[in-house]
Amino acid sequence: MSLSLHPLIVLLFFPGGLFLLGSGMFYEWIDRKLVARYQNRLGPRWFQPLADVVKLLAKEEIIPQGVHPGLFIILPVIALASALTAALYTPLLGLQPYYSFQGDLIVTLYLLSVMTLSLGLAGANSINRFSLVGATRTITQLFSYEAPFMLALLGPAIAAGTWRIAGINEFAGQSLWMILTQPIGFIVALIGLMGKLELPPFDAPEAETEIVAGALTEYSGRGFALFRIGKNVELVVGLTLVSAFYLGGLMNPLEFVLKTLGLLLVMAGLQSLFARLRIDQTVGLWWRMGTLVALLQLLAIVIGRALPGLF
């Protein structure tokens, strides 16, 4: 399904801009509500994420001593912009991506990493000790989940024979759900997404009982709000990618809503099941387990595709 809209509308309202912000907050609310219900709490009301953002935007932004003010202001903007841009290549709401070219999968993954990089830089920019430790952990975590996450998303790409997200989405819609054919890849992708979003149990970079708020300790007001929105958008984009690749493609809005929310349900469950991993445990988990099994999976796919040609 595809619509033809004016580029400005695409960027500002739908599917970019307002729609993304709105859905980001909506998914954040679902996530918080689900985790709360799993934990036997009531959870926030539906407008709580919006209220948080409004409150943060209304607050004074304090630029602390010792930071580079330019970087301090521009980093949240870059983070949000890259997350928003990444969304343009993904089949949001089950519609055709608005911009699509061979290899846009790599671009999207890169743009999603820019978000984390900005977070790390924002922490390293500060002289606050909690921020510095948080930044180190953020970047360490980036290096640990990025490779397996990428490999897990390459699996479907190789199976589909294209590195175009729209192409993979179409292929996934026509063939057997790839969660069945590549179960390991799905698990690695899902957990990698949780690592990317720094959700529990991978929330060591922002472990409040150790380092307050990690890299974002010094952020308040607008900058903090932008980072939060950026993360929400990343949540939507990440869910879209994983469910498009592994849950049989996203062909219409209904499919989109059902599949991404189903995935979020599982993710919220995983968030409430475990104790927080230490950063060394996270790195160990990803490099000893995640990367290896993702590589094995990839190898199996490559062999599986090459074998019919050989005989």
Partner 1 sequence: MEAKEPKKFIVPIGPQHPALKEPGHFEFSVDGEIVTGASIRLGYVHRGIEKGTEQRNWIQNIYLLERVCGICSHVHAMAYTLGVEKLAGVTAPPRAQAIRELVAELERIHSHMLWLGVAAHEGGFDTLFMYSWRDREVVMDLLESLTGNRVHYSTNVLGGVKIDVTPELADTIRKGCDFLEERLQHYLRVVTTDETFLARTRGVGPMTLEQAELLGAVGPTARASGVTRDIRIDAPYASYAEFPVTVVTDNGGDLTARFVVRIKELFESCRVIRQILDNMPESELVAKVPRRIPAGETISRVEAPRGELFYYIKSGGGDRPERVKSRTPSLCNWSTISTVAVGHKLADMPMLLAGIDPCFSCNDRMIQIRRKGHEDQLWTWEQLRRYGIEYYR
| Interface of this chain with partner 1, residues 281 to 300, rule: CB under 8 A | 281
- Contact between 39 and partner 1 per CB under 8 A: yes
Cα torsion angle, 100, 103, 109, 110, sign:
negative
Is there a cis peptide before residue 201, judged by omega within 30 degrees of 0? yes
12, 41, 68, 265: residue in contact with partner 1 (rule CB under 8 A): 41
Say how many CA atoms lie within 13 Å of 40 toward its Cβ: 1
| 128-147 footprint of partner 1 as x/- string (CB under 8 A) | -xx--x--x-----------
Q: Do 98 and 245 touch, CB atoms closer than 8 A?
A: no
Alpha-carbon distances, residue 93 vs 111, 182, 195, 311 (angstroms): 20, 24, 24, 41
Distance of CA 155 to the CA centre of its chain: 18
DSSP state of 286: I
CB of residue 275 to partner 1, shortest distance in Å: 4
| Interface of this chain with partner 1, residues 58 to 97, rule: CB under 8 A | none
Q: Which is nearer to partner 1, 4 or 65 (CB)?
A: 65
- Contact between 212 and partner 1 per CB under 8 A: yes
26, 276, 293, 300: residue in contact with partner 1 (rule CB under 8 A): 276
Q: Do 139 and 120 touch, CB atoms closer than 8 A?
A: yes
- Contact between 204 and partner 1 per CB under 8 A: yes
Tell me the three-class secondary structure of 7-71, residue by residue: HHHHHHCCCCHHHHHHHHHHHHHHHHHHHHHHCCCCCCCCCHHHHHHHHHHHCCCCCCCCCCHHH
CB of residue 270 to partner 1, shortest distance in Å: 11
Q: Which is nearer to partner 1, 137 or 231 (CB)?
A: 137
Q: Which is nearer to partner 1, 186 or 202 (CB)?
A: 202
Q: Which is nearer to partner 1, 38 or 287 (CB)?
A: 38
19, 278, 287, 300: residue in contact with partner 1 (rule CB under 8 A): 278
The residue ranges that bind partner 1 (CB under 8 A) are 38-41, 129-130, 133, 136, 200-201, 203-204, 207-212, 272-281
